[in-house]
Amino acid sequence: MTITRTCIVCGKILNSSVPEDIYDDGLENPPGGGIFFHTSGNYGSTVLDSIVDHITVTGYICDECLKERAGSLYVQDDERSYSDTTFMIYLQEKKELYQKLKEEEMTKKAENKITKNISDDVFLELLGKFMNSYYEIAKLKAENDQLAKIVELAKKHMDKEHPAYALLELAE
């Protein structure tokens, strides 16, 4: 059965979210970019009353209209109890919760990259090795600077014809 999924608010046509050959019950196939719902009506409606009509009506609302009119919709939990929370407030709370969870996840990932399964003892050992290496590099640099000064002074006071002068030039 091929059906046209049309938003009941704005008239936008919603495509199927799943190919028809995979999900062959057209009405139950959820729309892409929207929601679908069923109602059998209720007492008080002059158009659809479940006791009289014994049918179910399926409708579609696109995501844009759902967001635009979220303040007119109310949230009902799984126990069928209503709250004074509008769907707009629910969406905002959900967005804030999602953002908070995302920030927590990013923080955990950053912490894991820094301390990924490293015990305090191993961390301190690695830090000690790093500091020793840094000290050795600084010492070598100081020695190299000192050597450079010695070579410079020796070249100043040595005759260019002296056989060791060539070695001093190589040392540079």
Express each pLDDT in 75-87 by its tens digit: 777 666 666 677 7
Percent of the chain with pLDDT over 90: 9
Burial of 40-76, coded b for 16+ CB within 10 Å and e otherwise, reads ebeeeeeeeeeeeeeeeeeebbbeebbeeeeeeeebe
pLDDT at 64: 93
pTM beyond 0.75, yes or no? no
> What tens digit of pLDDT does each residue of 131-171 get?
777 667 777 777 777 777 776 777 677 777 766 666 666 65
Give the domain ranges of the chain.
1-68, 73-117, 118-171
